[in-house]
């Protein structure tokens, strides 16, 4: 099922639309990071899970298989083009019934409070404007149940002289609409948003350093 309601235009969404035609190739390059994030999340049967920035849907297929018939999965992305690719990937009728594809903003998630047991956000926070990252994390905290799990995979600062880092910096300057991610500090941001860090793993994307962080939402006092 796909919700056609679209958020107001933004530079971030324009970038998502610009890259929708080659998103599958981009996510293929990040497949190792995605696998590591899925292992860290450790989705369980019967859970309700939201994938923020779900892209072309490869992680969604893994999540649907993990939660089984009793569970639910939401995929949220800014680009309708990308969501259509995701819908094509979810070919089985059973898979489609258990996945809701929602066109929405990470900083205004179209989900009720405390509706998810776990959340996944892979290489998405770094493409948001800096002032919207705390809003997105606050939204993730809102939709997670107390003690809910969140896995964030994000690019982090690397050695400035590393060839991959230098090439990426050049590409960001030359093609800002297509190469729009920037290194962030996921652990610091998560702690500031009220999450507790449980585990951290190092990963790599084309030689660029990535952190995969497992955190939990706060329990009521």
Q: What percent of the chain has pLDDT over 90?
A: 53
| Residue 18: C-alpha distances to residues 13, 56, 79, 129, 176 (Å) | 9, 14, 9, 17, 11
* pLDDT value for 25: 52
All structural domains of the chain with their residue ranges: 2-216
Count other C-beta atoms under 10 Å from residue 199's C-beta. Answer: 10
Average pLDDT of span 74-85: 86
Structure confidence at residue 19 (pLDDT): 47
For 199-214, the pLDDT digits (tens) are 999 998 777 889 999 9
Q: Are 75 and 185 in contact (CB under 8 A)?
A: no
- In angstroms, how far is CA 63 from the centroid of its own chain? 13
Which segment of 4-8, 47-51, 72-76, 95-99 scores lowest on mean pLDDT? 4-8
pLDDT at residue 140 greater than cutoff 50: yes
The whole-chain average pLDDT of the chain stands at 82
Structure tokens at 3: 């919700």
Picking from 129, 131, 20, 142, the residue whose alpha carbon sits closest to that of residue 84 is 20
In percent, the amount of the chain with pLDDT more than 70 equals 73
CATH 3.30.565.10 fits 2-216, yes or no: no
Token pair for 89: 């990937």
Q: What is the DSSP letter of 104?
A: -
**Average pLDDT, integer, range 10-15:** 53
Task: Measure Cα distances from 147 to 30, 44, 134, 150 in Å.
Answer: 28, 15, 19, 10
Residue 165 has pLDDT above 70, yes or no: no
8 has a pLDDT exceeding 60: no
CA distance 136 to 106: 5
pLDDT digits (tens, 9 = 90+) for 24-62: 555 556 788 999 999 999 999 999 999 999 987 889 999
- Helix orientation angle between 58-67 and 80-89, rounded to the nearest 10 degrees: 50
Q: How confident is the model at residue 5 (pLDDT cuts 50, 70, 90)?
A: very low
Task: Report pLDDT digits (tens) over 92-133.
Answer: 645 667 899 999 999 999 999 999 999 999 999 988 889 999
Element holding 100 (H helix, E strand): strand 99-103
pLDDT band of 167, cuts 50, 70, 90 = low
pLDDT, position 82: 79
């Amino acid at each position: 099922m796909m919700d056609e309601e679209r958020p107001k235009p933004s530079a971030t969404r324009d970038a998502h639309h610009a890259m929708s035609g080659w998103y599958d190739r981009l996510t293929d390059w990040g497949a190792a990071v995605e696998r590591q994030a899925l292992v860290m999340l450790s989705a369980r049967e019967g859970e309700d899970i939201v994938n923020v920035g779900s892209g072309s849907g490869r992680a969604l297929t893994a999540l649907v298989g993990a939660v089984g018939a009793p569970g639910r999965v939401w995929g949220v992305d800014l680009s309708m083009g990308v969501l259509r690719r995701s819908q094509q990937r979810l070919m089985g009728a059973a898979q489609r019934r258990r996945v809701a594809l929602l066109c929405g903003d990470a900083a205004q998630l179209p989900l009720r409070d405390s509706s998810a047991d776990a959340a996944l956000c892979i290489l998405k926070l770094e493409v948001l404007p800096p002032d919207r990252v705390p809003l997105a994390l606050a939204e993730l905290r809102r939709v997670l149940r107390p003690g809910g799990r969140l896995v964030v995979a994000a690019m982090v600062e690397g050695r400035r002289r590393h060839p991959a880092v230098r090439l990426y910096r050049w590409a960001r300057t030359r093609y800002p609409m297509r190469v729009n991610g920037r290194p962030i500090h996921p652990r610091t941001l998560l702690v500031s948003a009220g999450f507790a860090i449980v585990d951290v793993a190092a990963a790599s994307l084309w030689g660029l350093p990535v952190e995969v962080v497992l955190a939990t939402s706060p329990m009521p006092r």
